[in-house]
């Protein structure tokens, strides 16, 4: 049980401030350098990319978060500071030092993230000039949100309030990501800030659970970025009874809801996307395979292109299922497209194609549901359609 905070942002929880400036790192004159900070030190948890090529900020932030504490996050867009060798790590550390100096905290309390082009050095002169100009405020979360966007067309943020035995706490979250998005954490940037008092071990576990059911179930293009990460800061200012495994259900539910909202927003705002695709796999052999099947279907270029064209070419859904690795018995398989059954026990079911095309044309959300009838594994994945626009965006990104 939680309440949505109208116009909530990552700085909605007590004691969090955020701000951003136009530092000139992006070629367009847009917000591109931002800080989120807490008035007091926070417990911190992070989940990082599984790509073996890690950006310099990822390497640095993994080191800084290892002790489970942090007080600020500094982020830039327009340059990923990835594949930049030793100098890249020096630059990431420089960025942490500059933010720490500005906030009068230790550099080790600062987490760093960068997003944008790979293989290009960070323009440190612009970072050095920009950081002192950032003015973090209570209402600065929206600016922070805009400053971390790259090819995103819409901001992605949300805050909720939870009442735990009469004491209220808040969870605010923000994310970016519209390309190079594929399951296996953390294929985007996401920052979550809460004023809840949370036990450190549970904070880590809760973040992993939330990420597994949300961001790790999103695929936009199958590419996993070297840059990306999710940070969760908890400053404890809400003064609730400490949250742990035994009383953590409401916190977990609210955190997962924030992450799921942000994950679906990312899928809906995938590069060139016009539709959100939700894939539900039911009665798979187990949950692991249900996840794998749902993600494979949500990521299939042929399924995505068909949905883009409002083409009920469901054979591609079944073909993607068949290569997912999940056990399938064709003669047990039921498939639904926007709640119309198109396959029953492995045989095609005739449907009104004109009606289906019309329904697909008129829906921004397409629902694909498969019932494998083999066990009790269930999972949901999200993706987006594949449009000509995706190719256009990605064929001229650095040139």
Q: Rounded to the nearest whole angstrom, what is the least distance from the CB of residue 228 to a second copy in the complex?
A: 11
Q: How far apart are CA 46 and CA 65, in angstroms?
A: 7
Q: In 3D, which of 92, 96, 100 has the Cα closest to residue 55? A: 92
Q: Using the minimum distance from each CB to a second copy, give the nearer residue, 50 or 338.
A: 50
Q: Using the minimum distance from each CB to a second copy, give the nearer residue, 5 or 117.
A: 117
**Pairing assessment for the beta strands 69-79 and 110-117 based on DSSP bridges:** parallel
Q: Copy the structure tokens of residue 183.
A: 């399951």
Q: Rounded to the nearest whole angstrom, what is the least distance from the CB of residue 386 to a second copy in the complex?
A: 6
Whether residue 290 contacts residue 381, with contact meaning beta carbons closer than 8 Å, is answered with: no
Q: Copy the structure tokens of residue 159.
A: 């805050």
Q: How far apart are CA 371 and CA 362, in angstroms?
A: 25
Q: How many CA atoms lie within 13 A of 275 on its CB side?
A: 26
Q: Rounded to the nearest whole angstrom, what is the least distance from the CB of residue 119 to a second copy in the complex?
A: 4
User: CB under 8 Å to 25, separation ≥6 — which residues?
Assistant: 32, 33, 76, 77, 78, 79, 116, 122, 123, 126, 127, 130
Q: Rounded to the nearest whole angstrom, what is the least distance from the CB of residue 303 to a second copy in the complex?
A: 8
Which of 49, 115, 150, 187 is catalytic? The answer is 187
Q: How far apart are CA 79 and CA 188, in angstroms?
A: 14
Q: Using the minimum distance from each CB to a second copy, give the nearer residue, 150 or 161.
A: 150
Neighbours of 40 (CB within 10 A): 11
Q: Rounded to the nearest whole angstrom, what is the least distance from the CB of residue 260 to a second copy in the complex?
A: 24
Q: How many helices (H) and strands (E) does the chain have?
A: 11, 15
> Would you call 137 a catalytic residue per the annotation?
no
Q: Using the minimum distance from each CB to a second copy, give the nearer residue, 41 or 346.
A: 346
Q: In 3D, which of 292, 288, 298 has the Cα closest to residue 377? A: 288
Helix, strand, coil shares of the chain, percent, nearest 5, are: 35, 30, 35
Q: Rounded to the nearest whole angstrom, what is the least distance from the CB of residue 162 to a second copy in the complex?
A: 36
> Strand, coil or helix: what is 75?
strand
Q: Rounded to the nearest whole angstrom, what is the least distance from the CB of residue 30 to a second copy in the complex?
A: 21
Q: Copy the structure tokens of residue 79.
A: 């340059």
Neighbours of 76 (CB within 10 A): 29
Q: In 3D, which of 20, 42, 41 has the Cα closest to residue 32? A: 20
Neighbours of 104 (CB within 10 A): 6
Q: What are phi and psi of 119, to 5 degrees?
A: 85, 10
Would you name the residues annotated as active-site residues? 187
């Amino acid at each position: 049980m939680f309440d949505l905070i109208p116009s909530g942002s990552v700085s909605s929880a007590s004691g969090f401030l955020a701000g951003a400036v136009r530092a000139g790192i992006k070629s367009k004159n847009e917000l591109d350098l931002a800080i989120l900070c807490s008035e007091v030190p926070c417990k911190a948890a992070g989940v990082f990319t599984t790509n073996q090529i890690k950006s310099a900020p990822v390497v640095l932030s993994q080191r800084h978060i290892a002790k489970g504490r942090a007080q600020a996050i500094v982020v830039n867009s327009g340059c990923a500071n990835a594949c930049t060798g030793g100098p890249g790590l020096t630059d990431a550390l420089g960025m942490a030092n500059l933010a720490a100096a500005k906030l009068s905290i230790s550099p080790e309390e600062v987490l760093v993230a960068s997003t944008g082009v790979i293989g290009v050095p960070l323009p440190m002169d612009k970072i050095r000039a920009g950081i002192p100009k950032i003015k973090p405020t209570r209402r600065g979360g929206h600016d922070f949100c805009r400053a971390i966007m790259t090819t995103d067309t819409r901001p992605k943020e949300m805050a909720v309030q939870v009442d735990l035995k009469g004491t209220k706490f808040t969870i605010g979250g923000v994310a970016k990501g519209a390309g190079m998005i594929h399951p296996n954490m953390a294929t985007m940037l996401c920052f979550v800030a809460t004023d809840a008092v949370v036990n450190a071990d549970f904070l880590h576990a809760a973040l992993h659970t939330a990420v597994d059911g949300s961001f790790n179930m999103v695929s936009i293009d199958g590419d996993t970025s070297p840059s990306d990460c999710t940070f969760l800061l908890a400053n404890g200012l809400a003064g609730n009874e400490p949250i742990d495994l035994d009383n953590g259900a409401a916190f977990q539910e609210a955190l997962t809801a924030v992450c799921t909202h942000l994950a679906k927003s990312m899928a809906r705002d995938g590069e060139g996307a016009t539709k959100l695709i939700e894939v539900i796999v039911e009665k798979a052999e187990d949950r692991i395979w249900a996840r794998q099947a749902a993600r494979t279907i949500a990521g299939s270029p042929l399924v995505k292109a068909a949905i883009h064209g409002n083409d009920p070419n469901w054979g591609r859904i079944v073909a993607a299922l068949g290569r997912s690795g999940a056990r399938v018995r064709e003669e047990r398989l039921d498939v639904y497209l926007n709640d119309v059954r198109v396959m029953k026990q492995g045989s095609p079911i005739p449907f009104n194609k004109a009606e289906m095309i019309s329904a697909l044309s008129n829906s921004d959300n397409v629902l694909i549901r498969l019932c494998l009838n083999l066990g009790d594994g269930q999972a949901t994945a999200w993706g987006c359609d594949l449009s000509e626009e995706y190719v256009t965006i990605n064929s001229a990104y650095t040139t």
